[in-house]
């Protein structure tokens, strides 16, 4: 191999002037990143501390990053070059490594959760932690909890949650897997009677889990009691081989999340003991008597759903803000196109089109972060009320958490991909962090209830509210605006100047008008389809679903924005934030309202609430707000508080040294392990090397 020659002095003198020409006006991305931070009008660290509940929490995160960086299993240098098998093993090693650290170092549960999100290496334990243990806690009797939970906590068994089948996901009552009680042996026989009944999707079931929570239709004395939960062992604890009657395996590569071994499972007349049925609510006695769950069981099931959905809402802000951090930081140091050769090129963040996309996206990320915090607070206050037997807020909370699950994941998934596309070619590199972020995130639009189905849950609540309005019943809670709208059916937008659109009152009035109008429209379509009879099921419902989903989306969009306004105003009035960050957050709130209204520009005009001129003013105001926020763009990403280790992005690194990071990452590519590459011997040499060619 010939080594590169060092140029002699004459060669250098020949080339240097040309280099001076092409390098004229060149900027250093590290300097650009530093200069961006000097432009900020507020203290980004103060806002970061507020968003993370105190400086202590941020410092603790830094300590945990250091701890993770000292462990081989949490090294991220090669994360984007792993094969599926390496990803699978690595994901498990990281989860087990964190678990061992927690036990060995006596770290708190909060530390463990933080470490999992910092390391972000999804693997075979996700469902053990996220669904198996919570289901036993929620649905198991005290004896069942005492039996299973210690084994779970010591990782002596690993579980997952097996509900979805090849043929059924959304329609849980249609599951075909059966659990038939055998009074003679006092056991259940669990069985998959068809191809379609094969369980499909459970995370960790492919190659990791030893046990599953099996959702199967319970049959006692020939009667179908519908889906119930059973703890079923599927693999031998000593050999990890499937038990008799169990066919189980990995479902293959997916769009993302490939460290997780989602699996398939078919059961052939497998016998399990009677106490494998989780019996906190419904029970089957030894002699085969079915004791139905108390009426509150349904409410408890809804409460669990609300919790899971609340966590999804919380995570949506987290994921979108990571993408916005990467894209904004990169746009601030990426320079492209000079007006005159030799002049500095423009930071792409200074192009109007880039700003007008990234800053509204920033406002959406902040809105979701605040929504996530409120959603978790709402859940916790409901949980305390529930402990006193008070379920009164559940219908409202169920409707809100379903719709928010859908809207927040829609916004985050679309937003991550939008952010990636703002990064040009380098955004297509896995090293940017964005493709993996999108591929692993977008499943949130589907799991735990497909988003369309989620919007329809909210629509059910809205239709009941619409019927109540028609019958003159007063409304409370999130749908109260429907009563107000019914009293003023011809209300018109009062905006006269562009800056009027910044006012929360104008924004909320316009969003409420759109939501009320779409709700009334959906109610009318539904009533027509039902021949005048309103109903929230059946054919009329199905044929109205487009209108119903639009109404639900508008209702939730209003709620999301209202929450953003209230959170920022509360933080400011309670002096949790000083004037600087509060002012910038208010600008973000205003931009979020304007951007949300622009999404609904057609609806604003369709029924004459706003005029074309007013919508044009709205568009102009977006531009003004974006320009006002531009100097704070990078500082706002700093306030999200993501350590470089967590982002694992060549483009999103805090110091701006993006090109060096890209090159360093490329050098880790396994294809670069040898100079000639792996195709040289088998393919290229016979073609290109004359000596080898002569042997062909
Ligand atoms: C990455 C990932 C991980 C998963 N992990 C698990 C797991 O661990 N355990 C588990 O049991 N499952 C798991 N699932 C399955 C997941 O819960 C289901 O995919 C989800 O509930 C959607 O069901 P489906 O796939 O049957 O979609 P379908 O119901 O087939 O939906 C297809 C389309 O029909 C529409 N549709 C369906 N029903 C209605 C309706 N009533 N009204 C209007 N529109 C409707 C939907 O909106 C969608 O557009 C996972 C899925 C993914 C993608």
Give the CATH superfamily of 300-639: Butyryl-CoA Dehydrogenase, subunit A, domain 3 (1.20.140.10)
Compute the CA torsion angle 264, 237, 119, 265 (nearest 10 deg): 10
* Residue 36 known to be catalytic: no
Is pLDDT at 2 greater than 60 in this prediction? Answer: no
pLDDT of residue 666: 97
596-619 mean pLDDT = 97
Confidence band for 4, pLDDT divided at 50, 70 and 90: low
pLDDT digits (tens, 9 = 90+) for 53-111: 999 999 999 999 999 999 999 999 999 999 999 999 999 999 999 999 998 888 999 99
| d(CA 96, ligand 1 centre) in Å | 29
447 lines ligand 1 (CB under 6 A): yes
Is pLDDT at 412 greater than 80 in this prediction? Answer: yes
For the domain made up of 129-293, the CATH class stated in words is mainly beta
- Confirm whether residue 624 is marked as ligand binding: no
**Ligand 1 atom at shortest distance from the alpha carbon of 169:** 26
CB 541 within 8 A of CB 463: no
170 lines ligand 1 (CB under 6 A): yes
| d(CA 305, ligand 1 centre) in Å | 15
Is pLDDT at 696 greater than 90 in this prediction? Answer: no
Is pLDDT at 1 greater than 60 in this prediction? Answer: no
The preferred substitution site among 197, 450, 454 for testing ligand 1, maximizing ligand atoms within 8 Å of CB, is 450
640 lines ligand 1 (CB under 6 A): no
What per-residue string of b and e applies to 644-668 under the rule 16 or more CB within 10 Å gives b? Answer: ebbbbbbbbbbebbbbebbeebeee
> Which CA distances in Å does 169 have to 80, 196, 199, 276, 446?
31, 11, 10, 23, 10
Three-class secondary structure of residue 181 per DSSP = strand
124 lines ligand 1 (CB under 6 A): no
Domain with CATH 1.20.140.10 in the chain: 300-639
- For residue 64, how many other CB atoms are within 10 A of its CB? 22
Confidence band for 226, pLDDT divided at 50, 70 and 90: very high
pLDDT digits (tens, 9 = 90+) for 138-165: 899 999 999 999 999 999 999 999 999 9
201 lines ligand 1 (CB under 6 A): yes
Residue pointed to by tokens 């979805």: 164
pLDDT digits (tens, 9 = 90+) for 68-78: 999 999 999 99
| d(CA 332, ligand 1 centre) in Å | 39
pLDDT of residue 339: 84
pLDDT of residue 321: 98
pLDDT digits (tens, 9 = 90+) for 285-304: 999 999 998 877 777 777 88
The preferred substitution site among 447, 456, 542, 545 for testing ligand 1, maximizing ligand atoms within 8 Å of CB, is 447
Q: Which of 365-374, 475-484, 492-501 has the lowest mean pLDDT?
A: 475-484
Annotated catalytic residue, options 448, 566, 569, 685: 448
257 lines ligand 1 (CB under 6 A): yes
**Ligand 1 atom at shortest distance from the alpha carbon of 215:** 11
Q: What is the pTM of this model?
A: 0.96
pLDDT of residue 227: 95
- List the alpha helices (DSSP H) in 24-83: 29-38, 44-51, 55-69
Is pLDDT at 365 greater than 70 in this prediction? Answer: yes
542-564 mean pLDDT = 98
> Which CA distances in Å does 253 have to 259, 260, 344?
9, 10, 45
| d(CA 201, ligand 1 centre) in Å | 10
- Confirm whether residue 164 is marked as ligand binding: yes
């Amino acid at each position: 191999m010939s080594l590169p020659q060092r140029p002699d002095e004459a060669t250098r003198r020949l080339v240097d002037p040309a280099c001076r020409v092409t390098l004229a006006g060149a900027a250093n991305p590290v300097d650009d990143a530093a200069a961006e931070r000097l432009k900020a009008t507020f203290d980004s660290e103060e806002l970061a501390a507020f968003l993370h509940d105190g400086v202590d929490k941020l410092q603790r995160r830094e300590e945990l990053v250091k701890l993770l960086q000292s462990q081989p299993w949490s090294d991220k240098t090669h994360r984007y070059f792993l094969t599926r098998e390496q990803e699978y093993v690595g994901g498990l090693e990281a989860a087990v490594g964190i678990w061992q650290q927690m036990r060995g170092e006596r770290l708190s549960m909060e530390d463990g959760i933080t470490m999992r999100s910092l390391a972000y290496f999804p693997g075979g334990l996700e469902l053990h932690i996220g669904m198996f243990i919570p289901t036993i806690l929620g649905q198991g009797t005290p004896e069942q909890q005492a039996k299973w939970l210690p084994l779970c906590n010591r990782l002596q068994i690993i579980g997952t949650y097996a509900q979805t089948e090849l043929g059924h996901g959304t329609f849980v009552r249609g599951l075909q897997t059966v659990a038939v009680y055998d009074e003679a042996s006092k056991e259940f026989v669990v069985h998959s009677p068809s191809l379609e009944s094969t369980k499909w999707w459970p995370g960790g079931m492919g190659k990791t889990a030893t046990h599953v929570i099996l959702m199967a239709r319970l049959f006692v004395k020939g009667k179908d009691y519908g889906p119930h939960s059973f703890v079923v062992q599927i693999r031998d604890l000593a050999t990890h081989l499937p038990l008799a009657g169990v066919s189980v395996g990995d479902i293959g590569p997916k769009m993302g999340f490939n460290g997780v071994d989602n699996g398939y499972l078919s059961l052939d007349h497998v016998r399990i003991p009677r106490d494998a049925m989780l019996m906190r609510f419904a029970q089957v006695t030894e002699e085969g008597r079915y004791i139905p769950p108390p009426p509150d069981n349904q409410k408890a099931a809804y409460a669990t759903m609300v919790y899971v959905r609340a966590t999804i809402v919380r995570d949506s802000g987290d994921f979108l803000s990571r993408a916005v951090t990467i894209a904004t930081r990169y746009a601030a140091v990426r320079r492209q196109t000079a007006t005159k050769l030799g002049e500095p090129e423009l930071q792409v963040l200074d192009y109007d089109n880039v700003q007008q996309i990234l800053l509204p996206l920033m406002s959406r990320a902040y809105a979701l972060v605040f929504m996530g915090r409120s959603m978790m607070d709402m859940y916790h206050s409901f949980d305390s009320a529930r402990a006193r037997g008070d379920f009164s807020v559940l219908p409202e909370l169920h409707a809100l958490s379903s719709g928010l699950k859908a809207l927040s994941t829609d916004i985050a998934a679309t937003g991550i991909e939008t952010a990636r596309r703002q990064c040009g070619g380098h955004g297509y590199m896995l090293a940017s962090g964005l493709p993996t972020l999108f591929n692993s995130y977008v499943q949130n639009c589907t799991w735990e209830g497909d988003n369309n189905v989620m919007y329809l849950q909210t629509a059910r609540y809205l239709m009941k509210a619409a019927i109540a309005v028609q019958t003159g019943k007063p409304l409370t809670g999130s749908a109260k605006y429907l009563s107000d709208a019914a009293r003023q059916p011809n209300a018109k937008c009062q905006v006269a100047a562009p800056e009027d659109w910044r006012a929360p009152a104008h924004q909320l009035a316009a969003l409420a008008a759109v939501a009320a109008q779409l709700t009334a429209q959906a109610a009318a379509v539904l009533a027509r389809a039902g021949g005048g009879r309103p109903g929230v099921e059946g054919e009329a419902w199905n044929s109205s679903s487009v209108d119903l989903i639009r109404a639900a989306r508008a209702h939730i969009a209003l709620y999301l924005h209202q929450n953003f306004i209230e959170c920022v105003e509360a933080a400011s009035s309670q002096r949790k934030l000083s004037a600087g960050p509060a002012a910038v957050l208010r600008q973000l709130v205003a931009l979020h309202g304007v951007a949300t209204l622009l999404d609904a520009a057609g609806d604003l005009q369709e029924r004459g609430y706003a005029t074309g001129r007013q919508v044009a003013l709205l568009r102009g105001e977006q531009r003004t707000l974006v320009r006002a926020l531009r100097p704070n763009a990078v500082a706002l990403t700093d306030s999200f508080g993501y350590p470089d280790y967590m982002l694992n992005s060549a483009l999103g690194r805090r110091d701006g040294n993006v090109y060096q990071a890209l090159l360093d990452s490329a050098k880790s590519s396994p294809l670069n392990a040898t100079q000639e590459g792996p195709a040289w011997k088998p393919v290229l040499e016979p073609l290109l090397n004359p000596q080898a060619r002569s042997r062909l």
